[in-house]
Structure 1
Amino acid sequence: MVDSLGSKSILDTLKQRLGITAQLERRLHSQSDAAVYRVWQRKFVWIRTGLALKLAIVSYSTFLILGLLLPFNFGQLLIPWQGMAGVTLLSLILMAIVHRTRLGRRFPSLIFLATSWSITLIEQVWATLNGFALQGLFAWTLVFLVQATIVPVRWPLHVIAQGGVLAYYCLVNLGLGLTLTEAKPLLDVGTGLYLFWFCTIATLTVFRYEQLQQAQFRTRRQLEAAYSRLEVEKAQSERLLLNILPATVAQKLKQETTTIAESFPEVTVLFADIVGFTQLSVTLPPTQLVGWLNQIFSAFDQLAENLQLEKIKTIGDAYMVVGGLPIARPDHAEAVAEMALGMQQVVRAFNAEHNQSFSLRIGMNTGPVVAGVIGIKKFIYDLWGDTVNIASRMESQGLADCIQVTEATFQRLHDRYQFRKRGTITVKGRGEMTTYLLIG
């Protein structure tokens, strides 16, 4: 009962910790998304502010030209309207230059505000210096509308841009006692209500648009993450498939639904078996047994990869490899011979490391085979034919620590390798056959 309660307590603790970990991961992921969004948002503001600047310079130039052609009548002014308009245009040009610098890229919000106030505040300062209040509804609403449509993110920026203009107009003019006319107040109820709703609608539009942008950004990030996971899983599946099948066969399997089978006129097949390993497995712990077998076969796999041979399968402590398929090669027999000699060296090195006395019994044969993929679950690339059966007999009826080959393999290799003639042996299913032992 105590053990049961203790186990339950431990399980609950683990679940709690896992829940906290998952919550932290989600929070970190959310923070990461927020940071990426802020970077994207800053870049978006920078790009769109540049567009707004170009539009402002071009459009304001037209008003300045119109003012030069058709002078506006403001009476006796300390600073002419054309001078104020020129300062505004120069300010916009300066902002366009700063916008392209590192400072502009780093602080696009400041460029946004400076651009907005270049049009709306400079004329207010001009009016103040000339001793009167100027209600620039046309300039204000035009600027606010352009901001809301061209730079529709960071709604607090829009509030600051709008609030700065209205605050200057009301507070500075009120403080200095400046009015529009003697009969008209700074801001009547109708004009105030109009500006309130115009600014509210513009800012609300930006706010809603930014919400949509954030939702779209998160969705896009989730899709990108899903696609990334899909690519990783696809790559993992591809690696697993290539561990089971040759690359060319795997490609065919993905493209075809029919049975995959090919004939090869000449290949060399090798079977190898670790002598005495089965008997030793009775006395060895399972982990040690599998560990030793994995060490030996992993070294065999490396040999096969280096020699560009195709490992077919392992059965217990038996290993099968072939040269000359799925891509034909003229030196298949030589490559398999090198594999056999290399496998003997691997076992000798293993014996020296673990103080064992294992030996290999290896058989080789050369001839035609049929190769293909069988099964729909746990499928395998396998070989069939008399060549395979005889290669298997060369191993099973061979000698410990020897590489027994058939006459066909001997004829391919005898001028480049050393052999010793074993003589005639009785091969099950084939009768008498002359075999040879590959020495080196």
Structure 2
Amino acid sequence: MIQPNNSDKTQLDALITQGMPHWQISNSLGESYKEQRQRFLLKRLQLQAQIMLISGLTLIAFFLWVNSQIEGKIYAFKIGFIVELFILICWALCKTSIGQRHPDLIFLSLCWSVTCVVQIDIALLFNNLEPRSNIWTLMFLTQATIIPVQWWMHLISQIGTIICYFILYILYNPVLKNISAFYVEQGLYFFWTCIICVFSVYLYERLQKNEFNARKAMEVAQQKSERLLLNILPEMIAEQLKQQPTTIADSFHEVTVLFADIVGFTELSTRTSPAELVDLLNRIFCLFDQLAERHGVEKIKTIGDAYMAVAGLPNQSNNHAIAIANMALDMQNAVNKFNAANNQSFCIRIGISTGPVVAGVIGLKKFAYDLWGDTVNIASRMESHGIAGSIQVCEASYQLLKDKYLLEERGLIKVKGKGEMMTYILKGVFSEEL
């Protein structure tokens, strides 16, 4: 008794994940949200550094202009020069491997180069420790606007600024008028500025993450539908249907059609459960599908335990008969190996015919790519009138294969609707010029 293999992929999984290499679905499905955020962060850090460099130069020029005393001009230049130097270093680090690995450190450095460095410079030069809340507010609002990601980085930058100020306050211990009222007012102002910046960044990033996940889910669904469509229809036909959803019918002057039937499968169905029967048939046909892909053959359909394939369409080729012959021989070998591995005794009967066909998609629902014409009928008759375990070919196929394959003349057989036809049995390859 054959036990279903639960580890095998389901039919839908196979339709989605197997096929042409350029449609393979990756587990990651492109970059992750973390990778996208990292790339966004680096670009915005460089943008912020450039804006800060330009604005810093304008502020230096302004303070040099408004200060009438030489000493004031020197102080303004010193502070501006140091800040600009820090910003320039941060901007350069964004382009290095260090910046790419640790953009959060660049973020904090950019913030503190304006808030902390300015505060320290003013304390050292003027012994003045009034909080520069206007500079802090401008810096935090700028970062929340330009780099609205990773709210915790914004919070750390704000806390770091406060800690820096308190350390300086302890060291210098300045005396201010109305110190309590001053610090309460400044504290409330600064507190709500920080809360608004951090909370707005948190909401924005949450929105962006949800949007990213929704977009990825849509891409996954679209990619799966594309893969499913390409496993039902040839790629060329699928593209035609998407661009112009009308009846598709193309004539092909010469192709080679293959029909294969599993001998004894009907008898097996009477003594095997439906689930086991379907599992067995699926495993065999999956082997055939792999062979079709390997030999560049287009699978058309399965009808019960019959398998139909064609070579030479929709992409026309000159070696269609050779591709089908190679596939037919490999199908026999695959069934033999399957029998040995599963303790079975199946054999297949294959029929091959070469000639003109019409191929296309008709109808409004449940599209299927199909073939019509006398060549299809003859291939079906070659299979049904064939010998179990053999590959029977018609005269037209024989003429294309006789120089490279070992074919044995079977003789004239009576074919329904065609009368007597000369047929041959494909035995194997006798030439290595393939």
Partner of 2:196: 208
Q: Which amino acid aligns with 2:69?
A: P
In the TM superposition, 1:154-303 aligns within 5 A as 154=154, 157=157, 161=161, 168=169, 172-174=173-175, 186-187=176-177, 200=188, 204-205=192-193, 207-303=195-291
Match 1:88 to one of 79, 85, 89:
79
What whole-Å deviation, never above 9, does each CA across 1:26-65 have from its counterpart, x for those lacking one?
xxxxxx9899979977986786466446534542354246
Q: Which amino acid aligns with 1:59?
A: L
Partner of 1:147: 139
**Matched residue of 2:403: which SS?**
coil
In the TM superposition, 1:394-413 aligns within 5 A as 394-413=382-401
Larger relative contact order (Cα-Cα within 8 Å, sequence gap ≥ 6): 2
What whole-Å deviation, never above 9, does each CA across 1:71-105 have from its counterpart, x for those lacking one?
28xxxxxxx65665455345424533553556996
- What residue ranges of structure 1 are gaps of 5+ in the alignment? 1-31, 73-79, 129-133, 175-185
Q: Is the 8 A contact 1:369 1:388 kept in 2?
A: yes
**Matched residue of 1:257: which SS?**
coil
Within 2, Cα distance between the matches of 1:303 and 1:36? 40
Within 1, Cα distance between the matches of 2:38 and 2:356? 66
What is the deviation of 1:382?
A: 1.2
What whole-Å deviation, never above 9, does each CA across 1:92-146 have from its counterpart, x for those lacking one?
2453355355699626435534533544554455444xxxxx6979xx4653453
Q: Which amino acid aligns with 1:55?
A: S
What whole-Å deviation, never above 9, does each CA across 1:347-402 have from its counterpart, x for those lacking one?
23333334443222222222221112234443321111222112211211222222
Aligned pairs, number = 380
Question: Are 2:47 and 1:59 aligned?
Answer: no
What whole-Å deviation, never above 9, does each CA across 1:9-31 have from its counterpart, x for those lacking one?
xxxxxxxxxxxxxxxxxxxxxxx
Q: Which amino acid aligns with 1:71?
A: Q
Query: When the two structures are superposed, what TM-score results if normalisation uses the length of structure 1?
Result: 0.72
Q: Which amino acid aligns with 1:284?
A: T
Q: Which amino acid aligns with 1:346?
A: A
Query: When the two structures are superposed, what TM-score results if normalisation uses the length of structure 2?
Result: 0.72
Partner of 1:320: 308
In the TM superposition, 1:115-134 aligns within 5 A as 115-120=114-119, 122-128=121-127
- What residue ranges of structure 2 are gaps of 5+ in the alignment? 1-31, 146-153, 429-434
Q: Is the 8 A contact 1:148 1:202 kept in 2?
A: no
What whole-Å deviation, never above 9, does each CA across 1:192-245 have from its counterpart, x for those lacking one?
57x866775566355434433332222222222222122222222222112211
Q: Is the 8 A contact 1:46 1:108 kept in 2?
A: no
Match 1:371 to one of 359, 363, 367:
359
Q: Greater CA deviation, 426-435 or 348-357?
A: 348-357
Q: Greater CA deviation, 227-236 or 47-56?
A: 47-56
Q: Is the 8 A contact 2:311 2:323 kept in 1?
A: yes
Structure 1 residues 386 and 124, CA gap change in structure 2 (3 angstroms):
closer
Structure 1 residues 337 and 42, CA gap change in structure 2 (3 angstroms):
closer
Q: Radius of gyration: which is bigger?
A: 1
Partner of 2:111: 112
Q: Which amino acid aligns with 1:272?
A: A
Q: Is the 8 A contact 1:49 1:151 kept in 2?
A: no
Within 2, Cα distance between the matches of 1:281 and 1:312? 24
Within 2, Cα distance between the matches of 1:88 and 1:320? 81
Match 2:69 to one of 68, 71, 94:
71
Structure 1 residues 123 and 399, CA gap change in structure 2 (3 angstroms):
closer
Q: Which amino acid aligns with 2:115?
A: S
Question: What value does the CA root-mean-square deviation take over the aligned residues?
Answer: 3.9
**Matched residue of 2:400: which SS?**
helix
Structure 1 residues 320 and 157, CA gap change in structure 2 (3 angstroms):
closer
